[in-house]
Amino acid sequence: MRAVSTLMTLLLVSAWARAGNCDACMETAMCIRHSKEETEALKVWNRDKSKKDPMVRKAALDQLGKLNNDHLNCRHEKVAEAIADALTDVDTGIRDAARGYLATNQERRTAMAELTKLAEKLIAKLGKPRPGGRSGNSEAGLEWDNQLAFLKSVLDSLAGFGDPDVVPTFEKAIRSSNVMLAVAAAKSSMPIRSRVLVEAMLDKASLIADKKDPDSQGALKELALYVNGASGFGEALGDDGPAWLKAARKFWSGQKGSFVETPDPDAPPPGEPK
């Protein structure tokens, strides 16, 4: 099968830069021209999404995904729902393109819900041990690696929404029994400054702070960085994991309030023009 290169998704960036509103469209009513374009793009997608050739599927997805760039002030749930169908495509490039469209220019609530639904499924699947061990090269193990990489990108997209509703999904991932997944989720969660997530990271760190194997020590080192970045605790991990954890918990117990904020509070939500 001819794979669609993930480099194609870079085109989303340039397309987004040219995005804007339509003076003839209203929030609840699309102009005649754009309504016809949307109807046609949905028709093409429903016709081509099951075609064997990935280039045909990708072309139909792009036609649908780029629609809103001309009318960001009027975006329909049905378009985001249709794009979400491609999140399970067998082609990596198509899946990632669908994720990119949902993360940038689709109806916000629907896009966030679809990405959350996918993340939850992948978290449950990847919570199980990697087939063949941590470094095995079995086909199942490599597929597990690919799915973890895709989950990371999905979590990055969810974090970009800066919405409190995504916190439970990140907490579930950070508390996963799979340490690789937990660390990846902690890293992706950095734009979401949530007390719940800091506490989940500390709890995860407590499970490996006493372990001396290289994998656990490496995971603890990363978690310490993310705890410090999210909480404001400034003490480096050093050689004594339990001591650092005790100090971090003491510091954190003195922090009051629950908060969720994006790094730039003046930035518009994803999909909104600047």
**Residue 120 within any structural domain of the chain:** no
Residue with structure tokens 């490599």?
142
Instruction: Report the alpha-carbon distance of residue 36 to residue 50 in Å, rounded.
Output: 23
The predicted structure's pLDDT at residue 84 = 96
In a domain, 147, yes or no: no
Residue 250 lies inside a defined structural domain of this protein:
no
Decide if 148 is inside a domain.
no
Q: What is the pLDDT of residue 209?
A: 93
Look at residue 240 and tell me if it is in a domain: no
Tally of residues, the chain: 274
Decide if 194 is inside a domain: no
Domain count, the chain: 1
Share of the chain above pLDDT 70, in %: 80
User: Is 5 a domain residue?
Assistant: yes
SS (H, E, C) 60-82: HHHHHHCHHHHCCCCCCHHHHHH
pLDDT at 59 over 60: yes
Packing angle, helices 139-160 and 167-174, rounded to 10: 150
For 21, the domain range is: 1-106
* pTM of the predicted model as reported, rounded to 2 decimal places: 0.82
Domain assignment present for 131: no
State how far the Cα of 80 lies from the Cα of 77, in Å rounded to an integer.
5
Q: Which pLDDT tens digit goes with each residue over 64-118?
A: 888 877 767 667 788 899 999 999 999 999 999 999 999 988 889 999 999 999 9
In DSSP terms, 78 is beta-bridged to none
Q: What are the residues facing 29 on neighbouring strands?
A: 26
Amino acid at 188: S
User: Alpha helix locations (H) across 161-262?
Assistant: 167-174, 179-188, 195-208, 214-231, 241-253
**6 — pLDDT class (breaks 50, 70, 90):** very low
Q: Cα(138)–Cα(92) distance, rounded to whole angstroms?
A: 19
Q: What is the pLDDT of residues 175-203, one digit of tens each?
A: 999 998 999 999 999 998 889 999 999 99
Contact 154, 173 (CB under 8 A): no
Please state, for a pLDDT cut of 90, what percent of the chain lies above it: 55
